[in-house]
Structure 1
Amino acid sequence: MRFIAVINREAGGVRRTGVRRLEEMAEETLGHQLVGLESARGRVFPSAVTAALAQRPDGLIAIGGDGTARTVAGYAITAGVPVTFAPAGTMNLLPRRLWGEREIEEVLAAIAAGEFCLDALPVAMIEGEPFFVAAAFGLVPAFGRIREHHRLARSWRRRLGALLQGLALGRRVFRPNVMFRSESRRTMRTPALIVTVGDADQLYPWRGVDAGIGGFECVSLRLEGWMDVLQLAGKTLLRRDWRDDERIESFSARRIVVSGRGRRLWMMVDGEPLWRDPPVRLRFSSSPMQVMASTDSPLAKARHSVNESEGS
């Protein structure tokens, strides 16, 4: 088979491992099956992806994290080329969904040996753009923007500036500036809303929860101060019964509309901070994305569970 690999130089794991080391790993592991290898960052990265897809390989291997996966997916769906994601980001939620706990070397070795299957990955859409893990509004993207500024800072002055920007937020982030509604909910306000593709516990990979297929779990948080943030952060990390907290409202939806009070609605989509003009609409696409995944992946297990429940 003919594979092309694209590396996102700005992904967290790529920066830690080194681009050259990852290029050597791909070349050594895939051998003659690797017919193209590109690495790029920033605005150049989408051009590298489209150039790779234009060569019509049998599969595209994207090396990066969840933000990388979202960028690549938008082009791969249109091109109809099977794609997979090797874990080189921060949380790697989507790569883990396709490959479990395998590291980059193991993912590349499995592809080289043909130890994978083609599967259909459900695609969620936000204003016509795909995402696969979660979209967050309000408090979370406020801190996500600061984290991104700190991560990309090239000097200690810029890193210090990002931290000071976070301290300057004060209590503004606890105002209920996010408005949302779904097919089962009237319009409500909250300081923080998280919409996950499937079970929200997938955000904590060590719990081994399958993401599920075909629905959103929406989590609205009622936060009044920093103490609430610290308490809920600890509770969601350590306990499975976090949904029982009175400051949390969890519900399922197939479609949801989110807006805010400003002209721009900031959000964190698959780990990437961005903004859109409100309101924004979240739904599921009728066309899944063709992916390369291990036969024992969490995606395959989730699909098997769904098929079993439908059969019974």
Structure 2
Amino acid sequence: MTDTVEPDAEAGPAPKGALTPHTPLRRAVMLVNPLSGSVGSRAVGEAEGILADYDLDAEVVVLDGEGFEAAIDQAFASKPDVIFVLAGDGTARSVASRAKPDGAMIAPLPGGTMNMLPKALYGTADWKQALRRALEEGEPQYVSGGEVQGEYFYCAAILGSPALWAPAREAMRTGKLRLAWQYGRRALKRAFTGRLRFSLDGGDRRRAEALVLISPMISKAMEEPVGLEAAAMDPSDASQAFRLAANALFSDWRHDPAVSTRPAKRIEVRARSRIPAVIDGEPLLLKPDAVVRFAPKAFRALTPRPPAAEDSV
């Protein structure tokens, strides 16, 4: 006969997890959109469970259609140390764009489709892992970015006809072949119908099929946040243009011989018609005259120290 061990009623609750030693965390708000890309209906309960593991005044807020903007406004008004965002790519960009460099830290978790910003900050598509790493290892990190016609981006912006291939790629990725074919046909029709004219920091105007602007956080060509890495795609024929479009979306297009890059803080772009663009994974149309401005300290993120910085300590 084996003895049964009765739980110690006086033992009390389990000890809380240790929060990051790199910055004080007392209050947090987590915005969750269960209907977004990869979030799901169980996310709210799972988030509450994770946050309860830490000695933290935390609140989980569900974003819905009617009170969407009001919930975000209230999150900032409550003056938390950090606002976690588990929602689509567009919502993550919207929340980050409202933050100030000296305001609440923002932690955009991977809950969208492309998750460009969360993957750049946390190196994972697992939002639970990213949340725990931010809580246990996070420190304030200024994130640079760019702004064009009121839209902010923190990873990359593609301007010009290759941007039209992004919706086709996403439709292929999700198995929507008919929609992918429709997007592909539209991209083929738009290709070569409108080249861009652009200038970098007031320099001479140049022409290109497309212009790609990469933030210092993503750029492999810049060690310091001195501007956006501007890469001009200038194919000489149709086969080169399609190769560039594929490289821009599926591999490192900067190794392509038809691409030239340099840093810039103000980029003026002009076209004969509205300019197709992809801003941190979100497709949109810009006006024919667009000015892109570099934002050296767009917001503060709560993110683990980059590996390079850890290795140098």
How many positions carry a matched residue from both structures?
A: 284
RMSD of aligned alpha carbons:
3.7
- How far apart are the structure 2 equivalents of 1:276 and 1:102? 29
| Residues 110-147 of structure 1 deviation map (CA, whole Å, 9 limit, x = unaligned) | 3444x321222224222344321111111233223556
Matches of 1:146 and 1:45, distance apart in 2: 29
Q: Which residue of 1 aligns with 2:198?
A: 180
Q: CA-to-partner distance for each residue in 1:204-263, whole Å, 9 max, x for gaps?
A: xxxxx88752321112223432564247735995679714x1x2222222211112111x
Residue 289 of structure 1 deviates from its aligned partner by 1.2
Alignment of 1:2-17 (within 5 A): 2-9=27-34, 11-14=36-39
2:204 counterpart SS class: strand
1:183-202 to structure 2, matched below 5 A, reads 183=201, 185-198=203-216
Match of 1:256 among 267, 292, 305: 267
Contact residue 145 and residue 294 of structure 2 kept, 8 A: yes
> Which residue identity lines up with residue 290 of structure 2 in the other structure?
V
Q: Residue type matched to 2:266 in 1?
A: R
**CA–CA distance in structure 2, aligned partners of residues 185 and 43 of structure 1:** 46
Larger helix proportion, structure 1 or 2?
1
For the residue of structure 2 that corresponds to 1:122, the secondary structure is strand
Cα 1:101–1:160 shift into 2, 3 Å: closer
**Paired amino acid for 2:215:** V
Q: Report what 1:301 is aligned to.
A: 309
Question: Given the superposition, is the C-alpha separation of residues 254 and 10 from structure 1 closer, same or farther in structure 2, using an over 3 Å criterion?
Answer: farther
Matches within 5 A, 1:226-305: 228-230=241-243, 233=246, 242-243=255-256, 245=257, 247-262=258-273, 264-285=274-295, 287-294=297-304, 296-297=305-306, 301=309
User: Which AA in structure 1 matches 2:91?
Assistant: T
Letter in 2 for 1:256: I
Check conservation: 2:157, 2:278, Cα contact below 8 A.
yes
Secondary structure of the 2:229 match is strand
- Give 3-state SS (helix, strand or coil) of 2:62's partner: strand
CA distance 1:8–1:147, shift in 2 (3 Å): farther
Question: Deviation string for 1:66-87 (max 9, x for gaps)?
Answer: 4332111122228922111112
**How much has 1:61 moved relative to structure 2?**
0.1
Q: Structure 2: which amino acid aligns with 1:269?
A: I
Kindly indicate whether the alpha-carbon contact (under 8 Å) linking 1:49 and 1:75 is maintained by their aligned counterparts in 2.
Answer: no
Aligned partner of residue 12 in structure 1, secondary structure: coil
Matched ranges for 1:1-312 at <5 A: 1-9=26-34, 11-14=36-39, 18=40, 20-31=41-52, 33=56, 35-40=58-63, 45-64=68-87, 66-77=89-100, 80-101=103-124, 103-113=126-136, 115-146=137-168, 150=171, 160-161=178-179, 163-183=181-201, 185-198=203-216, 212-223=224-235, 224-225=237-238, 228-230=241-243, 233=246, 242-243=255-256, 245=257, 247-262=258-273, 264-285=274-295, 287-294=297-304, 296-297=305-306, 301=309
Contact 1:116 / 1:293 at 8 angstroms: preserved in 2?
Answer: yes
CA distance in 2, matches of 1:297, 1:210: 15
TM-score, reference length from structure 2: 0.74
Q: Distance between the aligned counterparts of 1:5 and 1:239, measured in 2? A: 34
Compared with structure 1, are the counterparts of its residues 256 and 236 closer, same or farther at alpha carbon in structure 2 (3 Å cutoff)?
Answer: same
In the superposition, the TM-score normalised over structure 1's length comes to: 0.74
Question: How many angstroms apart in 1 are the aligned matches of 2:80 and 2:57?
Answer: 10
Check 1:186–1:176 CA distance in 2 against 1; reply closer, same or farther (3 A cut): farther
How far did 1:184 drift?
A: 6.5
User: Residues of 2 paired with 1:165 and 1:219: CA distance?
Assistant: 24
Aligned equivalents of 2:217, 2:121: Cα separation in 1: 16
Q: Which consecutive unaligned segments of at least 5 residues does structure 1 have?
A: 203-208
Give how far 1:100 is off.
3.2
Q: Distance in 2 between matches of 1:178 and 1:214?
A: 24
